[in-house]
Structure 1
Amino acid sequence: MDVGILAFGGYVPRSRLQRAEIGKTHAWYNPGLKGLARGERAIANWDEDAITMAVEAARDCLTGQDRSAVSAVFMASTSFPFDDRQNAGVVADALNLKSGLMTLDLAASQRAGSSGLTVALQAANGSESPILFAASERRQTKAASPQELTYGDGAAALLVGTGDIVARFIGAHSETVDFVDHFRRAGNAFDYAWEERWLRDEGYLKIVPAAIEAVLAKTGIAAAEITTFCFPAAMKRVAGQLAKMTGLNDSAVADNLQAVCGETGAAHPVVMLVHALETAAPGDRILVTGFGQGCDALIFEATEAIKSLPERAGISGHLARRRADTNYARFLTVNGLVNVEEGIRAEVDKHTGLSTHYRNRDMAQRMVGGCCRECGTLQFPKSNICVNPNCGAVGTQDDHAFADKTARLNSFTADRLTYSPDPPAYYGMIQFEEGGRLMADFTDIDPDQELEVGMAMKLMFRVKDYDRNRGFRRYFWKAAPDTDAAAGGQLAEAAE
């Protein structure tokens, strides 16, 4: 059976920092940055990282899919929150997948996304159980650096395997060359980059064509038959040059999303692939490349099944859910690039008892509550006694997942006394529409947004807090305004 992509999904944070704000701030120091100060870049919230974004992309990918069939979770990133804790394992836990599966982290190169996808496809070949592959990136940048303007945060996910595939995997080729255009040694927060001309002339224009020509020869596909060419680099016009050098049509060159998102590092080949699949027609052939100490080149062909894939947000949907951000000082602060006075309320030891963390993982990471077998009442957290006053049965609670349930806002508070990295701290009570309540922290609240009782809310996997003394971070589910539900309600009202 053919192996390929069964489903796809994406995630881009809502906040988009306007590059003009970065340019204005640093023009006195580096006037050359003005040339890059156009468009906007996606920036993660203070409680987002590579893990949380991978979870959201994977949730989008698994829309309409049987999660119990997933046999493995592979994750690629160069900005993993943990060096010695399996990040893919946290993703699998947050998705409430079975424990009997393989998890694998892939890192250490901007090619981790494309190479990881190749490995996932090879592992899934001939297997009846699909593999979930996610690539996610939140890289730190120095203030006033070109990377601060060109990088972006985001994630994408693919479910690969055999069966009713939406895109057939045609073939791949890898060129491995220890060409160092930038690097980050262990313990450093920021990349050290060499000049762009060197990267373009000796890297992109010499290494990438070799990979493209090899995969075309290996698969027997003519360059003119490629419908979409995904080259994940921020540099202008290079993709067009590569197309000309290798015989690809100019019309095949895909938008690199630099103007609206930024380059999402190891995740960007997968981000661009997902973006291409969203509008692909059966028969379209997509060539995607990944560059970093060599080049990977993979070719996919869309099938008839792509027309029947359940609707999802994908990259396009998340790009549309944007909020223009002009607060550059906030960006610097939440990324730890300036030292701000946090006040004495921030001086709390966030020590996490690992035994307690493990015992509560079903509630905290999987968002599993209870459902009473006697009366059907849902409750979170799960307890030994049913909360229904007309029931009160003991020992009748079955596991019940809440993460994907819709909810409504019951009450809320904006607290400027409690410490928050992004004040005020929003929290309140949400009511799940099928039953159950949760007192939750809120996230992704727009500064100009007015919360209203009864508004639609959804749960998102986020960082709960940081243990700065020991380097540990705890995750939990937070409530955010469900803009999709709100938009759907407005459309329904307009139709009436």
Structure 2
Amino acid sequence: MEVGILAYGGYIPKSRLQREEIFKAHAWFNPGLKGLARGERSMANWDEDSVTMSVEAARGCLQSMDRDTISGVYMASTTFPFLDRQNAAIVADALNLRSSVQTLDFSSSMRAGTSGLSVALQAAGANNGPILLCAAEKRKTKAGSALEMTTGDGAAAFLIGSGNIIARLIGSHTESVDFVDHFRGEEEQYDYTWEERWIRDEGYMKIVPTAIEGALAKANLKAEEITTFCFPVAARNVATGLAKKVGISPDAVADNLQSNMGEAGSAQSLIMLAHALETAKAGDKILVASFGQGSDALLFEVTEVINEFSGQAGVSASLAKGRKVTNYNRFLAFNEGIEMDLGIRAEVDKNTGLTTHYRNRFMAQRMVGGECSNCGTIQFPKSNICVNENCGAIDTQKDHPFAEKTATLNSYTADRLTFSPDPPAYYGMIQFEGGGRLMNDFTDIFPDDELTVGMKMRMVFRVKDYDNKRGFRRYFWKAVPVDTNAGE
């Protein structure tokens, strides 16, 4: 049974912090940053994390998919919101998947994304149904560091299985080597990185070629037959140097997206793969390699099915929707780079009652409302009594999902009195197509955006609020304007 990629999706946050603004803030201390002060890096909103970005990327995979057929959800990241709560299970919940799916987290290495992809390809061969693999990163970096310049936030997702595949796996190889180019200890927020030239010469140039040559040998393929080579490294000329060493054409080296996004850790190799598939042709050979305590190399051959596939909410679409951000302090505030006086309105205790959280998870995380089986009225949230004044039937509500519905903006407010990490707080009444309305928070609203009554809105899965005292965060669905949302 042939296994491969059935669908793909990608998501890059809308905000693009201009690197020149980072340099301006730190030039007095480290003028050497000038060499990195070109282009822009993607910047997650305050209510985004690796889970929410995974959900958004995954939605691009599943638009025409029967979600009940999915047998597993895997998530890869080194920046999971929870260390002891399965993050892939939150993703599965947000996507309203059945509870019998297998959920797994992959972490602790920059090759967690490709490792998760390898395992998904193996598991999908058991014919239990397709597996959804997500990879996302929102890495914390020290202010004024080179990593702050070169990293970026983003996610990719792939549906792995058999059948109508757009790219088949033809070879793979893994080298597991405890080469420590950087690390982050248990109690640390930031990566500790070693010297770049040593990493390049002893790491990239010696370990990665072995993995690539192993994959080529298993696929019985020559290096010059590779059409696209995806290797996630921010440093200049490393991918080109690797290509030259193993015999891959320089023209095959894929854009590492450093100019307009940055490097998204363990997700970057998969983001580059999703980006490559957007322009791939039948017969193309795509090599994806990663680096982190060794190297994974996976070879895919694109099939004729690619001609019928129209990727939605992909990497290119997200990049095209980018909005320039020049307020570096805003970036620092969102990423806990500065300690701000948030005012007394921010001092409300955010303790979440886990009993209530569990009992309302279908409403909060899955955004499932109700439909009256007696009169057909749709409502959110679901209740025991139908809201139709001409019905009022009791216990007739069946589940009705709202997350993928388009809504219309009925009213809105920009509030600077209530606390918001990104004031003003935008919220208002939205009316869902087919019925149901909700007083809801809005997100991804930029200063020059103009909200108008009647405009179309869509729902996105985001952090509702943080309980910093206990290290918990609650999720809910928020509304964004359709015409300004990345991926539309």
Partner of 2:29: 29
Is this contact kept in 2: 1:3–1:126, CA < 8 A?
no
Partner of 2:253: 253
CA distance in 1, matches of 2:310, 2:42: 26
Q: Deviation digits for residues 150-187 of structure 1, max 9, x if unmatched?
A: 00000000000111101101121001111111100012
TM-score by length of 2: 0.99
Is this contact kept in 1: 2:278–2:311, CA < 8 A?
no
Is this contact kept in 1: 2:11–2:487, CA < 8 A?
no
Q: Which 5+ residue runs of structure 1 have no aligned equivalent?
A: 489-496
Q: Deviation digits for residues 400-459 of structure 1, max 9, x if unmatched?
A: 000000011000000001001111111101011211101101100011111110111110
Partner of 2:453: 453
Q: Check if 1:408 corresponds to 2:400.
A: no
Alignment-mate amino acid for residue 478 of structure 1: K
Partner of 1:140: 140
Is this contact kept in 1: 2:12–2:486, CA < 8 A?
no
CA distance in 2, matches of 1:474, 1:444: 18
Matches within 5 A, 1:411-422: 411-422=411-422
CA distance in 2, matches of 1:486, 1:81: 23
Matches within 5 A, 1:193-204: 193-204=193-204
Alpha-carbon deviation of 1:311? 4.0
Partner of 1:16: 16
Alpha-carbon deviation of 1:215? 0.8
Is this contact kept in 2: 1:22–1:328, CA < 8 A?
yes
Partner of 1:129: 129
Alignment-mate amino acid for residue 226 of structure 2: I
Q: Which moved more, 1:105-114 or 1:60-69?
A: 60-69
CA distance in 2, matches of 1:119, 1:127: 14
Matched length: 488
Partner of 1:356, secondary structure, is: helix
Alpha-carbon deviation of 1:487? 11
CA distance in 2, matches of 1:334, 1:377: 41
Partner of 2:77: 77
Partner of 1:161: 161
Partner of 1:68: 68
Partner of 1:471: 471
CA distance in 2, matches of 1:227, 1:155: 24
CA distance in 1, matches of 2:483, 2:86: 32
Partner of 2:24, secondary structure, is: helix
Alpha-carbon deviation of 1:334? 1.3
Partner of 1:461, secondary structure, is: strand
Partner of 1:295, secondary structure, is: strand
Is this contact kept in 1: 2:313–2:486, CA < 8 A?
no
Partner of 1:386, secondary structure, is: coil
Alignment-mate amino acid for residue 440 of structure 1: N
Partner of 1:211, secondary structure, is: helix
Alpha-carbon deviation of 1:310? 3.9
Q: Which 5+ residue runs of structure 2 have no aligned equivalent?
A: none
Alignment-mate amino acid for residue 284 of structure 1: D
Partner of 1:344: 344
Is this contact kept in 2: 1:349–1:467, CA < 8 A?
yes
Partner of 2:366: 366
CA distance in 2, matches of 1:337, 1:155: 22
Partner of 2:218: 218
Matches within 5 A, 1:291-330: 291-330=291-330
Q: Deviation digits for residues 362-394 of structure 1, max 9, x if unmatched?
A: 000000000111221110000111111122121
> CA, structure 1 residues 66+406, in 2 after alignment: closer, same or farther (shift >3 Å)?
same
Alpha-carbon deviation of 1:128? 4.4
Alpha-carbon deviation of 1:199? 1.1
Alignment-mate amino acid for residue 219 of structure 1: A
Q: Deviation digits for residues 252-307 of structure 1, max 9, x if unmatched?
A: 00000000110000001110000001111111110000100110000001111111
CA distance in 2, matches of 1:313, 1:478: 17
Partner of 1:374, secondary structure, is: coil
Partner of 1:494: none
Is this contact kept in 2: 1:126–1:162, CA < 8 A?
no
CA distance in 2, matches of 1:307, 1:188: 46
Q: Check if 1:237 corresponds to 2:237.
A: yes
Matches within 5 A, 1:355-394: 355-394=355-394
Partner of 1:479, secondary structure, is: strand
Alignment-mate amino acid for residue 92 of structure 1: A
Partner of 1:493: none
CA distance in 2, matches of 1:416, 1:449: 17
Q: Deviation digits for residues 50-80 of structure 1, max 9, x if unmatched?
A: 0000000111111211111000000000000
Partner of 1:291, secondary structure, is: coil
Partner of 1:199, secondary structure, is: helix
Alpha-carbon deviation of 1:149? 0.4
CA distance in 2, matches of 1:391, 1:305: 49
Is this contact kept in 2: 1:414–1:426, CA < 8 A?
yes
CA distance in 2, matches of 1:380, 1:170: 47
Partner of 1:177: 177
Is this contact kept in 1: 2:132–2:158, CA < 8 A?
yes
Partner of 1:283: 283
Alpha-carbon deviation of 1:126? 3.8
CA distance in 1, matches of 2:265, 2:213: 24
Partner of 2:115: 115
Is this contact kept in 2: 1:128–1:162, CA < 8 A?
no
CA distance in 2, matches of 1:310, 1:383: 38
Partner of 1:491: none
Is this contact kept in 1: 2:4–2:161, CA < 8 A?
yes
Alpha-carbon deviation of 1:485? 8.7
Is this contact kept in 1: 2:321–2:487, CA < 8 A?
no
Alignment-mate amino acid for residue 86 of structure 1: Q
CA distance in 2, matches of 1:377, 1:16: 42
Alignment-mate amino acid for residue 361 of structure 1: R
> CA, structure 1 residues 484+449, in 2 after alignment: closer, same or farther (shift >3 Å)?
closer
Q: After TM superposition, what 4+ stretches of structure 1 lie above 4 angstroms from structure 2?
A: 484-488
Q: Deviation digits for residues 66-113 of structure 1, max 9, x if unmatched?
A: 111000000000000000000000000000000011100000000100
Is this contact kept in 1: 2:71–2:128, CA < 8 A?
no
Is this contact kept in 2: 1:45–1:444, CA < 8 A?
yes
Is this contact kept in 2: 1:226–1:248, CA < 8 A?
yes
Partner of 1:480: 480
Q: Deviation digits for residues 109-144 of structure 1, max 9, x if unmatched?
A: 001001110011011114140000000100000000
CA distance in 2, matches of 1:241, 1:311: 31
Alignment-mate amino acid for residue 161 of structure 1: G
> CA, structure 1 residues 487+273, in 2 after alignment: closer, same or farther (shift >3 Å)?
closer
CA distance in 2, matches of 1:407, 1:310: 24
Alpha-carbon deviation of 1:486? 12
CA distance in 2, matches of 1:248, 1:294: 20
Partner of 1:394, secondary structure, is: coil
